Amino acid sequence: MADHPVDEKLPALKMATTGLQHVAAMYAGVVAPPLIVGAAIGLTATDLTFLTGACLFTAGLATFLQTLGIWKIGARLPFVNGVTFAGVAPMTAIVASTEDKSDALPVIFGAVIVAGLLGFLAAPVFCKAVRFFPPVVTGTVITLIGISLLPVAFGWAQGPNPQASDYGSATNLGLAAVTLLIVLLLRRFTTGFVKQIAVLLGLVIGTLIAIPFGATDFGPVADAAVIGFPTPFHFGAPQFQLAAIISMCVVMVVSMTESTADMLALGEIVDRPADERTIAAGLRADTLGSAISPLFNGFMCSAFAQNIGLVAMTKIRSRYVVAAGGGFLVLMGLCPMAASLIAVVPRPVLGGAGVVLFGSVAASGIQTLVRAALDKDNNVLIVAVSLAVGIIPITAPQFYHAFPETARIVLDSGISTGCVAAVLLNLVFNHLGRGGRDAHDVTHPMEAGEELTGAPKAPAAS
């Protein structure tokens, strides 16, 4: 019997180029958290470079765990793992509350280790939530993942620094638009291997076009060292403070919720639906990767949703391709000069490619919703309200400003809030009490429907 496409091993060149394409798609997301946290601490340029390299290195290790797997650890799906952005706000809060800034990273590392170990133990219980994810829920969540990521692409398209005078300039937006156009043309008029690496080629061509406009900075390549290793506990031994541990445990719950949704989404896309066993193994990889990461000076790891869009678009479903991407991440962690080559890609160029990638995720969610029996008004309401709840942090970022900081860690994640809303509404409408009464086709929710007694409505006049 032929291997499932997820387990297919591609030729070396194709494996390398498509793996590098995954790294290019998620690079900015991996390096942003250490840059933000490092700046808040006031790290020197040398230490900031070290911290960024460490996060790339640990992202590669976590990706190996997730794609290749050992024992009951790893979903063995084409998942890229990296630093979760959900931890940025609580980590900067920990930095702000730490009097001696040299202790900030050890406190963060200690909290991440504890949260990771507790998450690892909780994975077999947490995975049982998969039974509450029918297509009406998974389709909603997948759509939300794509919608939530699109603002990231729009931000990249405007430039790397919101305070810069050229942020949102015609040049930056033009570079994003040209990159998007290149990717679309390659997808439309090429075939085979070239079509599959359209995003990578778009990034390369977009970067070359950006050179005459002064949008490409080769300084990081010239300044980067050839070899570097993330020495264990470079910033000091981990410290364990209760408040920090609690805040990172909350982040871990958010991360596990999003990873569960991501695994369900990817399972649908690669035609290998994620069951309880797969989700438990994937969560173990996430949490163990997070627990190990601080040893090498990295942060909490989680599945990267943006790479799901790349899988959906290229139709390359092999987990070994993503494992190759993990190899590149490890190489970048060990060779700062290699990491700096990806950093050369201008942010607007990434933004142009991101529109395709993240939009593909949303489109995959819509495809799933097609199978969600939306001819039943209960399901339409579930989708409508859950999408509305999920896009609150996107359309109204200050909506929850009056809530405690701990609550905002969850509420400011549209994927998490939308996911919780969809699960709860599905339980209420389709499982609890008389939720099952709506088994047959009914009217659109904005039209008059059945009475509570179950009597049919009067037929419309002809």
Q: Given this model, what pLDDT does residue 442 score?
A: 38
Q: Given this model, what pLDDT does residue 250 score?
A: 73
Q: What's the residue count for the chain?
A: 462
pLDDT tens, residue by residue, 224-272: 677 777 788 888 899 998 878 887 887 788 778 778 878 888 888 888 8
For residues 76-113, one letter each, b for 16 or more C-beta atoms within 10 angstroms of the residue's C-beta and e for the rest, the string is: bbbbbbbbbbbbbbbbbbbbeebeeeebbbbbbbbbbb
Query: Pick the residue with more confidence: 180 or 305?
Result: 180
Of 396, 394, 397, 371, whose CA–CA distance to 383 is shortest? 371
3-state secondary structure of 24: helix
Residue 456: inside a domain, yes or no? no
Of 316, 285, 269, whose CA–CA distance to 19 is shortest? 316
3-state secondary structure of 70: strand
Return d(Cα 452, Cα 462) in angstroms, integer.
25
pLDDT tens, residue by residue, 335-349: 877 666 666 778 898
Total domains in the fold of the chain: 1
Q: Are 119 and 73 in contact (CB under 8 A)?
A: no
Residue 448: inside a domain, yes or no? no
Question: Which pLDDT band, with edges at 50, 70 and 90, does 114 fall under?
Answer: very high
pLDDT tens, residue by residue, 400-423: 888 887 677 667 777 778 888 888
Average pLDDT for residues 59-63, to the nearest whole number? 91
Query: Pick the residue with more confidence: 167 or 337?
Result: 167
Structure tokens at 364: 């995959």
| Predicted structure pTM score | 0.67
Query: Pick the residue with more confidence: 44 or 210?
Result: 210
Q: Given this model, what pLDDT does residue 198 score?
A: 80
Return d(Cα 234, Cα 38) in angstroms, integer.
14
Return d(Cα 242, Cα 277) in angstroms, integer.
32
Residue 445: inside a domain, yes or no? no
Of 324, 297, 364, 439, whose CA–CA distance to 149 is shortest? 364
Q: Given this model, what pLDDT does residue 384 score?
A: 93
Query: Pick the residue with more confidence: 239 or 97?
Result: 239
Q: Are 283 and 130 in contact (CB under 8 A)?
A: no
Q: What is the mean pLDDT of the chain?
A: 81
Residue 27: inside a domain, yes or no? yes
Q: Find the domain containing 383 and state its range.
A: 5-435
Residue 186: inside a domain, yes or no? yes
Q: Given this model, what pLDDT does residue 45 score?
A: 64
Q: Given this model, what pLDDT does residue 459 score?
A: 40
Return d(Cα 381, Cα 135) in angstroms, integer.
14
Rounded to 10 degrees, the C-alpha dihedral 196/201/202/207 comes to 160
3-state secondary structure of 405: helix
User: What percent of the chain has pLDDT above 70?
Assistant: 87
Residues 6+ apart with CB under 8 A from 49: 224, 336
Residue 254: inside a domain, yes or no? yes
Angstrom CA distances, 401 to 54, 329, 331, 397, 448, stand at 33, 36, 41, 8, 38
Q: Are 403 and 411 in contact (CB under 8 A)?
A: yes
Residue 196: inside a domain, yes or no? yes
Residue 447: inside a domain, yes or no? no
Angstrom CA distances, 256 to 239, 251, 261, 313, 364, stand at 24, 9, 9, 25, 21
Of 356, 330, 456, 277, whose CA–CA distance to 25 is shortest? 356
